[in-house]
A and B are shown apart, each in its own frame.
Chain A
Amino acid sequence: MEIYLDNSATTRVLPEVAQLMTKVMCEDYGNPSSMHRKGVEAESYIRYAKETLAKLLKVSEKEVIFTSGGTESDNMALIGCAMANMRRGRHLITTKIEHPAVLQTMSYLESQGFQVTYLPVDKSGRVRLEDLQRAIRPDTILVSMMYVNNEIGSLQPIAEAGALIKRMNPAILFHVDAVQGFGKFKIYPKKLNIDLMSVSSHKIHGPKGVGFLYVGEKVKILPITYGGGQQKNMRSGTENVPGIAGMAKAAELLYEHLDEEVNHLYELKEYFIKGVTTMEGIQVNGLIPGDADCRGTAPHVVSVSVAGVRSEVLLHALEDKGIYISAGSACASNKPQTSETLKAIGLQREYWDSTIRFSFSVLTTRKEIEETLQVLYELIPMLRKYTRRK
């Protein structure tokens, strides 16, 4: 038995995607910059991918820049815009619960003389608009906010924040890290006042090592890598053609039945939360009081704190049963340290080391959730028997 519930870490590549990529690697392997036919052939994959993704976001093809994934997209957006707009000001705003790709880049920018305001979040993991409004200063040049939090699945008020920012100062750039949101929500940057948006392929059943950054036409941004001048000088380096083709294919497939799929995910989430909270000493994080069908949170992430069981132990015990989950956030889980997100939502200290994350995908079935619940019902009481005595 293998039940993969770590889809916020990465997802399984769809067979159609893998097939297409094999073809690109083995047959249409040209360098898109080459002048001969092989190059033109390769370039056509990139052009098609741009068209596809642009259409899904309702933006222009020119506004899509391919990168190596979410982290590079975030770096490019923040560093590229900070450098290009520093004459207007040196103040940036973000939240305390961003992914390290944003937080660490911000701390680099701080070392380069920028000032950064980190907005707190409420118990459900959402930024309050009053806090944002108060943080905006005349020298603010950019606000960066994630669409879906990767650890607890909370949603930020992106539309409201975008409108607020532009009302206060249209020159302030709005960056959204949509790595966990793309493919779960139909996001249209132009309607939400988003100037830059990061997307990663391997969270939507595409390959790893590829992603893109949406950059609005009017955004002033500088490249962060230099070289052969590919992608209009914004991202030098030979394009990852198979990756790009695979990502576009994955997105295309996902959007075909997006509404039904998301509905399915919400049903799974609701069912799972109901099931897991029948046990004693269980707390689900990032939920909004009164939001019983969970529609105010992401459809695929459930953060569960289990009193008296260390997350790492529960993770390995589940692994032993063929169930794969994550302790906190996988991106931070190799170095056991307390998650900033869990601290920011005010989680009690005794839960910091006892929180695990289940994350679903369109491939997750109801039956898998049922089996997982059964295993949890058996394991948790057993593991609690052997907790470290105080």
Chain B
Amino acid sequence: MDVTTVMSSSPSTQEAARAKTPIPGPEVLVKWLRDMMLIREFEVRCMQAYQNKLAGGFLHVYNGQEAVAVGCIAALQSDDPVITAYRDHGHALARGMDPKIGMAELFGRIGGCAKGKGGSMHFFDVTNHMYGGHGIVGAQTPVGAGLAFATQYEDEVINKRPNSRVTLCFLGDGALNQGAFHEACNLAKVLNIPVIYVVENNQYAMGTAIDRCTSAADQLTKKALAYDMDAIEVDGMDVIKTYCDMKALVDDVRANPRPAFVDMKCYRYKGHSMSDPRKYRTHEEEQSYESQDPIDTLSKFMLKTGVLEEPAIKAMSKEVRTEIRAAVKWAEESPEPDISELYHDVYVEQWGPYTGTSFPQFMQDESKGGS
């Protein structure tokens, strides 16, 4: 498929490309619905836990954007790397992270994906090729180029075979204004690295509306022109459209390694973080997006096409609630990290050759006495 021509953002060709990607069968649709429900429920429980002081730090929830993570990640192979910013729970769950270890991370427990050392903004799950969870806006974009560089290098330079993997690097629309992003795009294009920058355009950089802080806000794909990168706009409120558009692009980037840019149009229902009263936008605006809810949209499609009946959807929703409740319980029961964990994972060898300054005296004594 010639995605290159699509990328000049001609809606009709993009439509044509999407049409060539078949809508997956019932089993896949059922999984997507479940995944989106799972993410929504996870976030609802996160907010509760946060209010109950079970979770600390900052909490940025993904409600409303579920179709983005689920649709995009469905377009990947299992070994394609994924990296994102701090609103990362959805991506981790869509990539296959067990909600238990996600919740435990949020609670700062040893059972968490990073043993309680990362927190909400730093979900890592290397087994599932999820490379974080990054807290500094835009900082993950050059790193995403590096992940893609490495997979391509491993294939083409070390193993002398064609490129086999594509990296998805997610960022928010606010990150478009960070220098790191522009350096990453230029570098990725110059080196033809197979990384797709998916801009989750939820229209607000924290509390600043996109047209107040970002040039070309009405057509973000223009940004990609500066880097001679292919770019598409995708409806991120509809998981089927998201998948079909992304699948075409991912497959093409895999076959013809190069960077690409996606303006993924979506909306976050909740505030930037838990302390955000959302005074910068109207209730009507929120309602207009909630009426296009990605979970409802897929449910309705499945009912209409006879993939699932109403009782089955209700049962699924109940099952998901049970699973997340169990995750909360598991996380609560997971112990806090032992104090010794504070000093682990600073260096690969716990002490490495490091017997000098900067470690507490008792730990130094232990390292000299032991092992």
- Co-complex (A, B): no
Interface residues of B (CB under 8 A from A): none
